[in-house]
Amino acid sequence: MDGYFHSVKIAPERCTGNMACLKVCPTEAIRVRRGKAVMLEDRCIDCGECARRCARGAIVPQTSSFTDFARFQYTVALISPVLYGQLRKDVLPRTIVAALRKIGFDEACDVACASEAVSTAVDEYLAGYRGPLPLLSPFCPTIVRLIQARYPDLIDLLIPIDSPMEIAARDIRQKKMKELGLRREEIGVIYLTPCPAKMVAIKYPPRKKKSHIDGAIAISDIYHPLLAATGDMSGNACQDGPPVMGSGLGWPVVGGQVSSLRAERSLAVGGLDDVERILQDIENGKLGDIQYVECHACSQGCCGGSLTVDNPYVTRGKILSLLARFGGTPCRDRETVRELYQKNYFSLPGKISSRPLAPLDQDIGKAIEKRRRAQEICRVLPQINCGACGAPTCLSFAEDVVLDQAAIEECVVLMARQVPNEAGSGKDHAA
Amino acid sequence: MSIEPLFCQRFEISGKDFINAGKASTTIKAILREIGIRPAVIRRAAIACYEAEMNVVLYARKAIMELRVTPQEIRIQVEDEGDGIPDVGRAMQPGYSTASDEIREMGFGAGMGLPNIKNNADTLQIHSVVGQGTTLEMAIGL
């Protein structure tokens, strides 16, 4: 089996085993063993909730650092519009672009224009599609992982269109290769990311072999250098930046994709719980009258990614006001984008493989037997889901016991209940 | 001929209980996943169970849904107490529905319930006694 690359890693030396991560993991992918958190790699869907919750910094996002890009002759910072919503309201996008150049990037541009183009591509795909509905947005890497692991029967509903960051990276690289006469590998395209899950999409892009992006730097890592660089910049210093525009500016907000589409029968959902409810409805054969569902793992969409700095609601407000101010002017005319779509400029031909969670046993009969035993064990457990055993719930602990990954004696509550009884019976014997 | 099931579990479903409607089907889906049934089979079982469960919620007083897994197939039986179906043949026709306006306003009652079950199950048997209730028995091969 191929290994799993994950967007976060646990640093055992910083972990105190305090179980904050254990309780928030939506897929029960964390156990605390011998006082340290460990990750069950096949269960993790890279949502980043654990990293968000850990106050010790023991869950480390696997994003790039600045030194990773020293090998490139020319570097381009690819901006998620979320970054525009992170700084003071009077710091305009072109100031941010200029500040990124000052920090050391040779060029900076955002992915909003690519997002707008991808919206048109999605519209074209929907118009020509005749299969089962609704189709699902494939742009949140955590949602793709969730579907691979828990809803494998819905994989074919993920739209086979490449993400804005990939399209933007390919465009800017080609442009710079032509302009500067550089080779492909001499240009580094670096995404400034609001969440660690994008790193998964860069290392293992769905439906293709290699990403157009060379790495990703966390918005939280670039925030302070950026603040310093914008602090002493006058408004005049940054008039040469590229114009910021297009309906794609709204993409990081829940509903941003849907509102830039022409398709009328669509939904936008944010937050894993709500996304799962929608996916369950779709599994039950409902929502067949909806064409497109925009799904975000984070409840405030990319504005609330775990590598952002500012409050997600404040960020959302700033993005919406940027959208109102600059979003009305399209980046490219729709006909041009439609022609590109016809030439398969946005399409991804490959398939997304499912990676369903392993059943309790490969043999159905044995799996049923193990499930029965797990239920039996669970019945004698205290049912308070305290986590002291290192598993998030009594049922997950019982399953771990059946799978020989834990011993029943690790339930301290059960042991504490038995101790007085044994002491009592001991006395009886003595008497 | 009777095959001893490897697995058997019963679920109670209450009519008009829209808060819990769909829970039995969701639990069944989770069980089938845990024991390693193929996703394509789970999807068909999920749709068939959900439609059967909603039929109880919409039209019957209460029912017992029983899931049985044998080495060959999944069997689901839904035995309800309700008004029964006077004409099963007609009820099987796509688009035929006796749903009230209230039910239709909630987005149900399109007359696709039984046809959907039939499309997703390998076999479907319906016994109904007017004034007493309806029993559905469906099977999906593994």
Q: Does A371 touch chain B (CB under 8 A)?
A: yes
The whole-angstrom distance between A52's CA and the closest CA on chain B is: 28
d(CA A288, CA B96): 19
| CA-closest candidate to residue A54, choices A27, A36, A80, A34 | A36
DSSP 8-state symbol, B117: H
Q: Does domain A1-62 have CATH number 3.30.70.20?
A: yes
Which residues in chain B touch residue A376, judged by CB atoms under 8 angstroms apart? none
- Asked whether the beta carbons of A330 and A245 are under 8 A apart, the reply is yes
- Mutate: best of A368, A371, A373, A402, partner B, most B CBs <10 A: A368
The whole-angstrom distance between A370's CA and the closest CA on chain B is: 9
Looking at this predicted complex, what is its ipTM? 0.80
Could you identify the residue written with the tokens 């996703």?
B39
d(CA A265, CA A258): 9
Q: Domain segments of chain A: what residues?
A: 1-62, 66-342, 360-431
Which residues in chain A touch residue B29, judged by CB atoms under 8 angstroms apart? 280, 283
E strand or H helix at A29: none
d(CA A73, CA A92): 28
pTM of the entire structure? 0.89
Strand order in the sheet with B7-14: B7-14, B60-69, B73-82, B133-141, B123-129
Q: Does domain A360-431 have CATH number 3.80.10.10?
A: no
Res A431: pLDDT: 39
- Asked whether the beta carbons of A303 and A316 are under 8 A apart, the reply is yes
- CB within 8 Å: B46 and A357: no
The whole-angstrom distance between A10's CA and the closest CA on chain B is: 27
A9: which strand partners?
A60
Res B90: pLDDT: 85
End-to-end CA distance of chain A: 60
Could you identify the residue written with the tokens 């990614």?
A305
Res A237: pLDDT: 52
| CA-closest candidate to residue B42, choices B57, B27, B53, B54 | B27
Long-range contact list for B15-22, CB < 8 A, 24+ apart?
B15/B56, B15/B57, B15/B58, B15/B59, B15/B60, B15/B61, B15/B62, B15/B63, B15/B82, B16/B57, B17/B57, B18/B57, B18/B106, B21/B53, B21/B54, B21/B57, B22/A280, B22/A284, B22/B50, B22/B53, B22/B54
DSSP string, A294-340: EEESSTTGGGG-TT--S-HHHHHHHHHHHHHHHTTS-SS-HHHHHHH
DSSP 8-state symbol, A362: S
Res A417: pLDDT: 85
**Identity of residue A197:** A
Longest dimension (CA), chain B: 45
Structure tokens at B126: 């319906």
Backbone angles phi, psi at A411, to 5 degrees: -80, 100
Res A241: pLDDT: 56
Res A426: pLDDT: 46
Strand order in the sheet with A135-136: A135-136, A292-296, A266-270
- CB within 8 Å: A368 and B50: no
| Cβ neighbours of A416 (radius 10 Å) | 10
d(CA B51, CA A227): 56
Structure tokens at A337: 């984008």
Query: Cβ contacts of residue A387 below 8 Å, gap of 6+?
Result: A19, A22, A23, A32
Longest dimension (CA), chain A: 95
Sign of CA dihedral A362, A368, A373, A376: positive
d(CA B63, CA B82): 9
Q: List chain B residues with pLDDT less than 50.
A: 1
- CB within 8 Å: B29 and A283: yes
The whole-angstrom distance between B61's CA and the closest CA on chain A is: 22
For each successive 10 residues of chain A (431 residues), what is the average pLDDT? 78 94 94 95 93 93 91 96 91 90 93 96 96 96 94 93 97 96 96 95 90 96 93 60 81 96 94 95 89 97 95 95 91 93 93 88 91 94 95 96 95 86 50 39
Residue B48 CB-density burial (10 A; 0-12 exposed, 13-18 middle, 19+ buried): buried
| Cβ neighbours of B21 (radius 10 Å) | 19
Res A421: pLDDT: 58
Res A173: pLDDT: 96
Which domains does chain B carry?
7-141 (3.30.565.10)
Sign of CA dihedral A339, A344, A345, A346: positive
- Mutate: best of B4, B19, B26, B34, partner A, most A CBs <10 A: B34
| CA-closest candidate to residue B54, choices B10, B94, B110, B126 | B110
- CB within 8 Å: A364 and B25: no
| Spacing of C-alpha A149 from chain mean position | 14
